[in-house]
Structure 1
Amino acid sequence: MALDLLVRGGTLVTPHGPLRADMAVEDGRIVSLALDASTPARAEIDATGLHVFPGVVDAHVHLNEPGRTHWEGFDTGTRALAAGGATSYLDMPLNSSPPVLDGATFRAKRTLGEAKSRLDFGLWGGLTPLNLTELDDLAAAGVIGFKAFMSHSGLDEFPAADDATLFEGMRAARRAGLVVATHAESDTFTRALAQAAQAQGRRGVRDYLQSRPPVTEAEAVSRALLFAEETGAALHLVHLSTARGVALAAEARARGVDVTAETCPHYLHFTGEDVERLGALLKCAPPLRDAATREALWQALKAGQIDTVGSDHSPAPPDLKAGEDFFAIWGGVSGAQSTLNVLLQGGYWARDVPLEVIAAVSALTPARRFGLSGKGALQLGADADFALVRLDETFTLTDLYDRHQGNPYRGQTFRGRVHGTFLRGQAAYRHAPGGAQFNDTLRGRLLKPAPPAHRRPTE
């Protein structure tokens, strides 16, 4: 009997390191990993000279649908993700309107995702003072976890979680066996610094960067870790911008706190000087730091202290990225397409980060942390989610596939190019000399977290 697909002659990036093997796929799953497989297949891919990576699991994106599809939506957002080697993603509860704060809004977003998403997806639910009584309903609906802001989110409809809200939300998450993801910046601290700068008429790029110093992240991280330790909740610290924040998480984990740390490609690739050069395209919170801080993040990643790298793809229309008052400009970086590029260029080629570490932070660990069964690794029985990468190919990024393409990575040169992305054995994206090829009929499935007892450990 013929297989559905045979990927022949590639180098598989497995959790144990690169492996020269053929990969066989049947019914969307990996059924064989063997050297020189002889079983016939209805389709074959010659992967000679290519590395086969597990499909990126981007645990942090904002696709903004419903309500703000003109910012970004499932269709265009997943085109960009697929072009970057992603096969699964977890969508944040904002900036869609209304945000995902109860079972009804979850179900409405799920319906849109199933109709439009080209990739498999999970949905975060919000944790705010407005919806503490809805958390059990969200858990029953199938959210991946709860997302809370410890500083102003930029949207009044998704207010920051005060200490009591965050603590109670963590207790609810513990009962449900879900993870709480926190944007860890001190609201009191950042608000006071921003107001002081604006009162003095200081509204430039450097003024904004100085209004959110590293200590505002460290303070909030420490508070979130304290609450997680007290409640026994699973905590995921998103978009950490400093190695100090990462170290605080590592210290807490060593004493038994269930915590994982995420950083983003833009913190690994750009610095505050780039914000001054590129402007609003790189405005985000926490802000970009100096070169020494960036290097410390890379060393923390190489040392295994950073668990996941998520794009935090958060686009907005050009008019929201315009103006002379940098505090008023919408914050968010468009980067869904570039996570693997940054990890290969800055990690593997520039700093000798092993390929299996890159595959871990981009796929294996997020899949395990959030209970995504069958995702994150090239192994028997797993979904045949993979990206074909020509590791030694140098290229300049010019072709972008998100909606507005207001993207700071445009014009950047990378080594390591995605030539194809496959979801459950079906091509979602192929790079071709005449232009990108997308599978417009492929649709993703909703991902729900496996019960905690059935999850593999994060270590």
Structure 2
Amino acid sequence: MMLDLAVVNGLVFLEGGFRLSDVGIKDGKFAMITEPGFLPEAARTIDASGKHVIPGGIDTHVHYRDPGHWERETFEVGTRAAAAGGCTTFFEHPISIPPQWNGKILKDRISICKGEDSSANDRHEKGSCVDFCFFGAAGGQHPEAIEPLADEGIVAYKTFLHDAPEGRDAEFEGLTSANNDQLYRVLEEVKKTGLTIAAHAEDNELVTGFIKRLREQGRQNENIAHCESRPPIVEIEAISKMLKFGKDVGCPIELVHVSTWQAMELAKQAKAEGQPVYVETCPHYLLLDESYVEKYGAYAKCNPALRKKEDVERLWDYVKDGTVDFIGSDHSPFLVSEKEKLDKNGNKDIFLSPSGFPGIDLRLPLMVTEGMKRGVSLEKIIELLSVNPAKCFNIFPQKGTITSGADGDLVIIDLNKEVTCRAEDSYSQAKGIMKVYEDWKLGCSVDCTVVRGRVVMENGVVDESASGWGEFVRPVRNH
């Protein structure tokens, strides 16, 4: 047998640990894993001596902006950043125009992602170079559409616990559970599918009230006012409600981008009682504190807000004890002009700029670097970045493992090479707003990214001809 690709002499992540092995890929699948020197001939061979070979990264929380705001970032350009950062599969969360609350909208977005949509081709959109899953939108506006959407291949659902933000109705249609009655109905509908629902868990009444008071105090020109408008209680209250509602309905819950240790403790207790709960956090909540908002303003603005340094430190306890299931980037591209938006009088107003910043290309190197500093094993980090996402969302063992028969997705990293993070080197269309990690020292380099046997990135250079190579991944339905 002639292999398509052989990766030899690397320390390969196999069944939870690293072993010196050779890996062979044929027809997009892992075909053989052997001791060094025993693979048959391959069309191409990559020598990974002295490096680690890990399953392709799975980013559980990504917002690309196609369609509706392609000027912020397209699937084609944004997934080059994914490939550069060792992400071989991403989970797209709905905020688009419109969000995918029914099968037709979902199919349209998949077509754009694959580079098959005619309107996308007018913009020379060639599609994703890595594989992808989609979350479906679930909200109080179209509850009857929730259950049928599961048959279209979504990996989970997403809802927001508030009305659409002012002026953004089109981006949030069918995506919001604006009150308790709507949320309960949404959970009932999702339960019928056997899938999980993720909620952006911030208490909208508290946020609205805090912003109103801060404006009345004339503090909208202070960067730190953003953090004060979304203190920990905003998340704690919303997550408490999600856990209670999920338990009462019997619907699996995903808590996304958890930023507070108190909310982590609530999730830990719920898990201990047997409730089906998955917990995600993000690199920025584990690495950055509110001083970054004071320094960088809107460029460090995200929802939930960054926390105090002592709270950041406590989050790591829940990474280490297994409460955190996986880590997503919450990659959120915007324009510089949006981040620097002024009020109608030309004055600064921290509440006017959008929340979020890019991070899909930094998720893996940031977490490997910080994990090593904090005594978290590389094996544990790989579980959080690759293995657990696949298992929790029922795409394992197609994804998340280097095993014969699985998709041939892998990443080669070099722990002996330090890299300096510079926004100008990013492939992201939104690199202009990448401020917070500038000049950070990364304790590893991402040297090679392989998606179903195709090398889509090597030595920092993405193969732009791989656009459109990405495929839609459907979960195994257990319901």
TM-score by length of 1: 0.95
CA-atom RMSD in angstroms: 1.5
| Aligned counterpart, 1:25 | 25
Is residue 367–residue 375 contact of structure 1 (8 Å, CA) maintained in 2?
yes
Structure-1 residue corresponding to 2:196:
179
Q: Indicate conservation of the 8 Å contact 1:371/1:449, yes or no.
A: yes
Q: Structure 1 residue 264: deviation in Å? A: 0.6
Query: Once the 2 structures are TM-superposed, how far is the Cα of residue 380 of structure 1 from its aligned partner?
Result: 2.2
Equivalent of residue 414 in structure 2, options 385, 390, 394: 390
What amino acid is aligned across from residue 21 of structure 2 in structure 1?
A
Could you say which residue in structure 2 is the equivalent of 1:368? 391
Corresponding residue of 1:53: 54
Shift of 1:414: 0.7
- Name the aligned partner's letter for residue 198 of structure 1: R
User: Which of 124, 127, 134 lines up with 2:138 in the alignment?
Assistant: 127
Distance (whole Å) between structure 2 residues aligned to residue 38 and residue 141 of structure 1: 39
For structure 2, the 5+ residue unaligned runs are: 116-126, 343-347
State the distance in 2 between where 1:62 and 1:46 align: 34
Matches within 5 A, 1:343-358: 343-348=367-372, 350-358=373-381
Cα deviation, 1:419-444, whole Å, max 9, x if unaligned, reads: 11000111111125xx5544435511
Deviations 1:301-348 (A, max 9, x none): 122110010000011111110031001111112111100011111112
- Any residues of structure 2 matched to 1:436-455 within 5 Å, and which? 436-441=462-467, 443-452=469-478
Deviates more, 1:157-166 or 1:234-243: 157-166
Q: Deviations over 1:19-50 (max 9, x none)?
A: 21111111111122221224222211100011
Supply the AA of the counterpart residue of 2:12. L
C-alpha displacement of 1:389: 0.3
Q: Which amino acid aligns with 2:98?
A: P
Q: What's the CA shift string for 1:55-99, capped at 9, x where partnerless? A: 1101110001111111111011101111000000111110x1111
In the alignment, residue 453 of structure 2 is paired with which amino acid? G
Counterpart of 2:445 in structure 1 is 417
Kept in 1: contact 2:102–2:149 (CA 8 A): yes
1:147 counterpart = 2:152: no
Tell me which stretches of 4 or more aligned residues in structure 1 moved more than 2 Å.
151-157, 408-411, 435-442
Aligned length: 449
In structure 2, the partner of 1:337 is: 361
- Alignment of 1:289 with 2:307, yes or no, is yes
5+ residue gaps in structure 1?
454-459
The more displaced of 290-299 and 386-395 is 290-299
Q: Distance in 2 between matches of 1:143 and 1:128?
A: 15
The code of the aligned residue for 1:400 comes to S
Quick one: which amino acid aligns to residue 391 of structure 1? L
Q: Taking every aligned residue pair, what percent have the same amino acid on both sides? A: 32
Contact kept? 2:140, 2:185, Cα under 8 Å: no
Which one-letter code corresponds to 2:395 in the other structure?
Answer: L
**Structure 2 residue matching 1:33: 3-state secondary structure:** strand
What does 1:48-447 align with in structure 2 at a 5 Å threshold? 48-94=49-95, 96-115=96-115, 116-151=127-162, 154=165, 155-157=168-170, 158=172, 160-161=176-177, 162-203=179-220, 204-322=222-340, 323=342, 324-348=348-372, 350-373=373-396, 374-398=398-422, 399-405=425-431, 406-407=433-434, 408-431=436-459, 436-441=462-467, 443-447=469-473
**Structure 1 CA distance for aligned equivalents of residues 90 and 274 of structure 2:** 28
* SS state at 1:72 partner: coil
Q: In the aligned structure 1, how far is the partner of 2:327 from the partner of 2:414? A: 21
Inter-partner Cα distance in structure 1 for 2:217 and 2:467: 55
Q: Which residue is equivalent to 2:123?
A: none
